[in-house]
Amino acid sequence: MRQKQRIGNAKTPLDDRFEMEGGRSSERYLRTSSHWVVTDRDDGETYILWLIKKTGAAVDQDIARFLNDTVRRVRGVLARKAVHEILLDVIDVIEDDHEIGIRLIGADGSLDALSARSRRKIEESARTVSGRVAIWYQIARLARGVGYLHGADIVHGGIAESTVFTSCLEPLELKLGGYEGCVHLGSVGSGGAALLSPGSVVSYGQDWRDLGKVAAGLLLQNDTESAVLLPAEQRLLDRLRVPPQFVHVEGEALATEIEALCSELELVGSSGRHELIVLPGRDLLRRDVPVLTQGLIPATDREALLSFVQDDLTGDTPIAWRDSYRGDGMISVFTQRAVYSVRPMTNDDRFGRIVSCRMRGAGDGALNALPITARMHVSQNINHAQDRAARTGGGAIAWASVGKDPAVQASDRDLVEWHALVLIEVATLLEGRLHHYPVEIVDTPETGLVRVAARTDAERDHWRAKFGRNEAAADLQREMLRDDGSVEWTLTASGALTLGPSAPKLSLEDVVDADGRRLYVFRHEGRIPIEGHVLLRPRPDKGTETQVRRRLNHIVNSRDNFDLLRAIGDPRSVGLDPAIRAMAPPGAAPTELDPSKSSAWDIICHGHALNLVVGPPGVGKSFLISRLIGSILKDRPTARILIAAQNHEALAEMERTLRKHFTELGNDAIVVRMERPEKNSGETRLKARARSLLDTFVLSQTSPLSRVRRKAIERLLRVQESDEAVDSEGEAILRDTEHLILRSADVTLATANSSVLEEMAAQSQQFDWVIVEEAARASGPELIGPLSLGSRRVLIGDHRQLAPFDAERKARLYSAGAAEALLEDAVDIIAAVSDLPEAVGASLAALADNSSLRLDVLGAALRLEQPFREIAETAEEASNNVRSGPVSMLTEQSRMHPTICELVSETFYGGRLTTAERIVNRACPIIPSTGALAAPLVIFDLPSLSRSRIEAFETFEGTSPANRAETTAVLEALDILGPASGEMPTLAILSPYTAQCNLLRSLVATRTDQHTGLLGGFASPKGDGLFVHTIDSFQGGEADVVIVSTVRNNQKVGRHALGILGDRRRMNVLLSRARHKLVLVTSTGFLWNAIQWSENEQESGSDLGFLGGMLRRIDRMAEPKVPDVLPQASIVVCGEDGRII
């Protein structure tokens, strides 16, 4: 792959940035260690640097890329809170002209650099059982750390005393380092992964053997002097030093076994006393306690001060209060005299450290404080505390239980958001089951047709009632009446999620009444079941079970990623680690950005755990993303960026924009989009790119491949031109080449539910940035997969356009009664999906058992069905503080004519959307330029049915309405409109209903030039010859002229009359696609009737007021404001047949 060129001048020498204990760089590599404790000269912070010398050759650029890859990968591991406490925290890659390495934080130094005094303390601990308990606990921590690395497919390769660090000596607390350079290369010398050392062995098993050596050293099991271990200790240490061959060692299981050993050791010499053990913090006896004694005991009299605290804590029963909002577990202990702040130790919560104390005031206390019934013992230091705990046996009480109500003591539970994400996926499965309708097959009147009728199933109707649903027959009738032909049905004997290959495909043809029964007539492909009683159900999308399993796996894998889970619920509740903010930051905002984009850029640069950009139609979301990515890669060529979206069309547009921008910059960045180039193609774009790369490589004269290998690749390339199957060797070559391209990509584009993301998560791959396009159309479970792969996260979308599929219908399942029924059936529901993680069942069990947790989770599930909308609307409610929060809005659009923009802005965006100055006076490529149709907004206004002589405007194809009078009006508009001289503008015809689209397609096809693909001189929006589209298929699309046929015209009122037209978000999409001219074919009289008969323009649960506002604005725009000047809008009156009057 190509080498990237670094941009910039000579870098600041590391010796000038940091004060290094290892001396200047010329002296540094005389030492054996590759880790140095340093002090930053700017901020005074202490860091650890892992450094290697540069060679001055091109390989230095490869090393930089490898190290950046490593930092991304380990940041993914460190996202889990438990891991963060065990492994050294990786900050970033640093370099100057002579050295490159990684900066870390979280420890004081390595074991091999301990002072003689500190080393003696550890040796003294190893000679007592109680002291060894503390050491074994630390070995368990290290074992967990190794397990976490192995779980992320990282082999450490160099565990030794030089890579095990102390973050605290009293009590002993160890952290694992040295892994930061182990994925691709290792350290020189004995530190780090040492992968470059000749003859070194690198494997999972070797990691455990190396950990055994470190454990043996800590426990004084060496040649010079050995401590006597108990038999159980010796057996476990022997197994650690020589792990069994061909057996995978699980870090968590080994750590649990070590902790069980510690529990046994603690029982040695048990006296059966129940105590809470505390020890003083560093400054407690020197500063706080002397003040508490009012100077009666000097700070130099340590023993007397300890006795004072002991007497105070063992006097009248003290009480304890735990602040649940604090993440460090701090407990306030109140005595008659004082208030003590006690922090449980992270490695062993049997011990609490008193970090401070003060005189108790009159108002000190807490209403929910609980009494401490156990005796409290104050130890001088950690060694005395451990000895005391050993003597009490199992009587040393964990501080985790202090200040907690015993009824809820076991509250080490997962976050509410995590449970909510699991529940949403279970609700997805349940919602599908609620659309399974019991029917009986009546007959097959002719070939290809089948008639079915609803049948009564009392048991199913009772089950449906628990979710507030009607009887199945009633809901089936309603669904059939609403069927617009977009749903494909099937008949099955069972309700299994996965369909067999013989399940037929059905489409509704008609609804008839015969012999007192309502029959549903379907056209079918495939064999009809032989059973008379079957289920009529929507045919699930291909791979539904796989997608549900994939999303649940993403959710389970994010279980410990507390920051991400909290951020997806409320980004303001989570701060962004400054180290992450400093990784691959964008530069200054380009001057070509408008003020709203510049503001969004600055907010993204400032960084939140999750940034949202609200992007109304035409504001240039892709433009902003491309500039942001270009800026990131300019300053950090090794950065990796993931772009995810709900559909391939959005990704295709983003890829085009990126490639165009990179060409302008002269940047050779690798952009890979994971999708099939054509609907019926079995080959992905990535595979096609792999073939192209192989073709170039094989034909190259400098190819180093052997003759046999070249023949295999030539054979593989020949297969592409024939119908032959690729052999196993060819598949392996393609797979390896795809992997190489994917790992080398600067920008990867994939759908949010892509299997590629699942594979990346399994490989613990990480990106510097994850950007999700059309994020408002994604549910929480759909977002969690891509977001878990990144350090910096940006969501871009518009919650005022299309929502996540079925979100509002599923929301009904989160009412209290329906939720209880959902959890009752949850076990059966998830049984429909094979190979689910056990954590899914554990979550559902917790919800079933805990009513208070369930209530919180139901609220969170409602929010996380549409997380983008929830976060954006919360920010809007606090509009005074929006600029300082994680949400920004782009407000300058450059797509729509100012008149169209005004209509959309006032109707849907509260007037905030404005038009860029550069397009206000742009030339219109459409004629006529004078007359009624010259206005940018044209209404073809048909009479309402209530004022017409005809029986109906609406006809039905199945149950989808069509309006032939409106199709005539559309053709009238096409007869008048045309391209200006020398122009080839684009044209789109939109309708919310499938039947109307089908009718329009048939009429338009007769007018389309078969050779040029043009319609009256207009080109299709996507260049594919398709002019007619539904709302959902055209979100994100645009055209110079858009003609909208609204279809509905009947004598009903309110939402029943309007159908989809009453959906604010869908109407937004319909009206915001046109660049120069919007032609709206409708009946304003019908719309007014439907709205005005609704109470105050609003029905229960559905606001129709926006339509009234839209119609009033159109009327104002159509009024001439200046004589002889064309108004903003024109209204063309049509007759009942749709022709212009």
Mutual angle of helices 1105-1118 and 898-908, in 10-degree steps: 150
| pLDDT tens digits, 533-584 | 899 998 876 567 788 889 999 999 888 888 899 899 888 877 777 777 878 8
From 220-224, 671-675, 1127-1131, the region with the lowest mean pLDDT: 220-224
Distance CA 859, CA 863 (A): 7
- Average pLDDT value for residue range 821-833: 81
Minimal CA–CA distance to 935: which of 910, 902, 963?
902
Element (H, E) at 907: helix 898-908
Among 304, 281, 89, smallest CA distance to 170 is for: 281
pLDDT at 200: 57
The H-assigned helical ranges of 79-164 are: 81-84, 116-126, 129-151
For the cut 50, the answer to whether the pLDDT of residue 816 exceeds it is: yes
pLDDT at residue number 1107: 92
Query: How do the domains of the chain map onto residue ranges?
Result: 14-266, 275-408, 546-797, 895-1133
Per-residue pLDDT for 778 more than 90? yes
Tell me the range of 301-315, 437-451, 578-592 where mean pLDDT is highest.
437-451
Can you give the pLDDT at residue 224?
60
- For tokens 């598949």, the residue is 731
Cβ contacts of 822 within 8 Å, gap of 6 or more: 423, 426, 427, 430, 467, 813, 829
Using alpha carbons, select from 317, 345, 324, 342 the residue that is nearest to residue 332: 342
Distance CA 387, CA 385 (A): 5
In terms of average pLDDT, the best of 328-342, 352-366, 717-731, 1004-1018 is 1004-1018
pLDDT given at position 683? 59
Check whether 943 has a pLDDT greater than 90.
yes
Q: Is the four-CA dihedral 468, 474, 480, 481 of positive or negative sign? A: negative
The residue ranking higher by pLDDT, 1092 or 842, is 842
Which of 453-467, 630-644, 703-717 is predicted with the least confidence, judged by mean pLDDT? 703-717
Q: Is 1059 helix (H, G, I), strand (E, B) or coil?
A: helix
Q: What is the dihedral of CA 535, 541, 546, 549, to 10 degrees?
A: -70
What's residue 405's pLDDT?
52
Mean pLDDT of 403-424: 69
Amino acid residing at 889: M
- In which band, very low, low, confident or very high, does the pLDDT at 942 lie, cut at 50, 70 and 90? very high
Helix, coil or strand: residue 357: strand
Mean pLDDT comparison of 490-494, 546-550, 817-821, 965-969, highest-scoring range: 965-969
- CATH topology assigned to domain 275-408: Nuclear Transport Factor 2; Chain: A, (3.10.450)
131-134-135-139 Cα dihedral, nearest 10 degrees = 160
Residue whose pair of structure tokens reads 């009024």 in the numeric block: 1119
User: Looking at the domain covering 895-1133, what would its CATH class be?
Assistant: alpha beta
Q: What is the per-residue pLDDT for 431?
A: 86
Cβ proximity of 943 and 1136 under 8 Å: yes
Query: For residue 182, what are its two tokens?
Result: 């182990």
pLDDT value of residue 212: 92
Instruction: Fill in the amino acid letter for 453.
Output: A
Two structure tokens written together for 729: 């060797």
**Cα 822 to Cα 617: distance, rounded to the nearest angstrom:** 38
pLDDT in tens, 1067-1101: 999 999 999 999 999 999 999 988 886 544 444 33
Q: Is 276 helix (H, G, I), strand (E, B) or coil?
A: strand
pLDDT average, residue stretch 948-960: 84
Range scoring the smallest mean pLDDT among 182-196, 384-398, 409-423 = 182-196
Q: How far is the C-alpha of 63 from the C-alpha of 76, rounded, in Å?
A: 20
**Contact yes or no for 988/537 (Cβ under 8 A):** no
Q: What is the pLDDT of residues 115-141, one digit of tens each?
A: 888 888 888 888 877 788 889 999 999
Architecture of domain 14-266 in this structure: Orthogonal Bundle (1.10)
Q: Which of 28-32, 64-68, 325-329, 1108-1112 has the lowest mean pLDDT?
A: 28-32
Residue 410 or 785, more confident = 785
pLDDT per residue as tens digits for the range 573-603? 777 777 778 788 999 999 999 999 999 999 9
Task: Say which residue the tokens 């300082």 belong to.
Answer: 884
Question: Is the pLDDT score of 966 beyond 90?
Answer: yes
- pLDDT tens digits for range 742-770: 778 899 999 998 888 888 887 778 899 99
Q: What are phi and psi of 39, to 5 degrees?
A: -120, 125
Torsional sign, CA 1117, 1122, 1127, 1130? positive
SS3 state at 939: strand
Structure token pair of residue 641: 């960026």
Asked if residue 3 has pLDDT above 70, the reply is no
* For the ranges 664-678, 912-926, 929-943, the one whose mean pLDDT is highest: 912-926
> Strand 319-322 vs strand 331-334: parallel, antiparallel, or unpaired?
antiparallel
CATH assignment, 546-797: 3.40.50.300
Quote the mean pLDDT of the chain.
Answer: 83
Binned at pLDDT 50, 70 and 90, residue 1001 comes out as: very high
d(CA 1060, CA 1050): 14
Radius of gyration (C-alpha) of the chain in whole angstroms: 35
The three-state secondary structure class of 623 is helix
Are both 275-408 and 546-797 of the same fold?
Answer: no
Q: How far is CA 313 from CA 275, 357, 378, 958, 1102, in A?
A: 12, 12, 9, 80, 62
User: Is the Cβ–Cβ distance between 438 and 457 less than 8 Å?
Assistant: yes
32 band by pLDDT with thresholds 50, 70 and 90:
very low
Q: Is pLDDT at 418 greater than 50 in this prediction?
A: yes
The interaxial angle of helices 707-720 and 728-744, nearest 10 deg, is 90
Are the C-beta atoms of 1086 and 1002 separated by less than 8 Å?
A: no
- Which has the higher per-residue pLDDT, 513 or 36? 513
Predicted confidence band of residue 1041 (pLDDT cuts 50, 70, 90): very high
E strand map for 96-209:
99-105, 109-110, 164-168, 173-176
At residue 373, the pLDDT reads 67
Instruction: Determine the residue type at 506.
Output: L
Please check the confidence at residue 882 and state whether its pLDDT lies above 50. Answer: no
Q: Which residues of 813-827 are buried (b: 16+ CB within 10 A; e: fewer)?
A: bbeeebbebbbebbe
pLDDT of res. 36: 82
Residues 6+ apart with CB under 8 A from 947: 1085
- pLDDT score at 681: 46
Cα separation, 274 vs 260, in Å, equals 20
**Token representation of residue 609:** 């755990």
Q: Could you tell me the two tokens for 1075?
A: 């660049």
pLDDT digits (tens, 9 = 90+) for 781-806: 999 999 999 989 999 999 999 888 88
Residue 978: pLDDT band (50, 70, 90) is very high
HSE-CB for 1057 with a 13 A CA cutoff: 23
Distance CA 800, CA 797 (A): 9
Q: Highest-confidence range of 172-181, 667-676, 1022-1031, by mean pLDDT?
A: 1022-1031
